[in-house]
Amino acid sequence: MKPEDLEKNSTEHEETSRRLFLKTIGLAVSAAVLGEASVFVQDAFTSSPLEEKIEKEYGFGVIGNTSKQNVQQLYKTLKLCEKYWETFRKEARHIWFIDLKSSFWSYLHEFIGAAGGASFGTIMLDSIEDETLIHETAHIYHNALGTDRGVAFSKKWWQLADMPYGSLVKKSSFITTEWKDNSVSLGKEGFMSPYGSTSLREDVATYQETLYVITRLIKQLNKDNKFVDYNNIYSLFFQSDPKKDSRYRKKISLLKEYGFIGPNDFKLIQPIFW
């Protein structure tokens, strides 16, 4: 939808929404460009004590459908991400949360054409699993690297990928889950999943998401004093041994260099890739 189309039959509600939307995007864009530590919008929304706690702890606000259940679920998920992902709090400082189910936010979603639930420092609240949150946070953190650093990062990543994006997957659906050769939908060719091979952005986000799931698994095994069988772990995520494809190591090292992965988590996942 183009801005001109919106003007045609804008009701009062839409006008108010639009103004707030522009303000929202303005803040997000400036945060992405300036790399500010935190972004939140609170006007016109009242905050519950738990929302205030989230704002205080993480530096962002929760907007949209802030039902008690929704906010409690979000807080639980934030804690989970933080428990299993060293850099989460730093990365999450760039985001705010909205609910795709509310009419205003679905309107915004259509307006900006956000695909994966994250755009300009905004995360849609309709899917709040911890690995999804990590995936969306990766997009936001990627955007917030700033122009020079962001371009340098993407350029290096592009060279490391060494495979044209979109060339390995079936083109049938928007969210691609199948490889063109019909092989099982696990990682291969330096990608974490078929979807991750569709674009540079999704490549980065699916790395974060998969590495998070791997660290969560290893940390849970360690906590339960269970033997960590790295061969077994890799076979859950990859078609073949990722040690044999240096692209995994190179991409992970780049993620570490740019602060997507912390040093302890890096050490934890190293035996799978090195």
Q: Which residues bind Zn ion (CB under 5 A)?
A: 116, 202, 205
Q: Which of 201, 198, 95, 196 is nearest to 142 (CA)?
A: 201
> Nearest distance from residue 139's CB to Zn ion, in Å?
6
Instruction: Please say which residue, 191 or 234, places its beta carbon nearer to Zn ion.
Output: 191
Q: Specify the residue, 59 or 116, whose C-beta has the smaller distance to Zn ion.
A: 116
Least Cβ distance, residue 199 to Zn ion (angstroms):
9
Q: What's the closest the beta carbon of residue 141 comes to Zn ion, in angstroms?
A: 12
Least distance CB 213 / Zn ion (angstroms): 15
Phi/psi region, residue 120 (left: phi>0; alpha: psi -120 to 50; beta: rest), is: left
Give the angle 148-254-164 at the CA atoms, nearest 5°: 85
Q: Which residue is nearest to Zn ion (CB)?
A: 116
Q: Which is nearer to Zn ion, 96 or 234 (by Cβ)?
A: 96
Sequence-distant contacts of 22-25: CB under 8 A, at least 24 apart:
24/108, 24/122, 25/112, 25/120
Q: How far apart are CA 146 and CA 148, in angstroms?
A: 6
Least Cβ distance, residue 117 to Zn ion (angstroms): 7
Rounded to whole angstroms, the Cα distance separating 182 from 141 reads 33
CB of 207 to Zn ion, least distance (A): 11
Beta bridge partners of 118: 123
Please, what's the b/e burial string for 173-188 (b: 16 or more CB within 10 A of its CB; e: otherwise)?
A: eeebebbeeeeeebbb
Q: Which two tokens stand for residue 135?
A: 């995936």
User: 71 vs 145, which CB is nearer to Zn ion?
Assistant: 145
62/205 with CB nearer Zn ion: 205
Compare residues 134 and 205 and give the one whose CB is closer to Zn ion.
Answer: 205
Q: How far apart are CA 96 and CA 260, in angstroms?
A: 18
Q: Are 33 and 127 in contact, with CB atoms under 8 Å apart? A: no
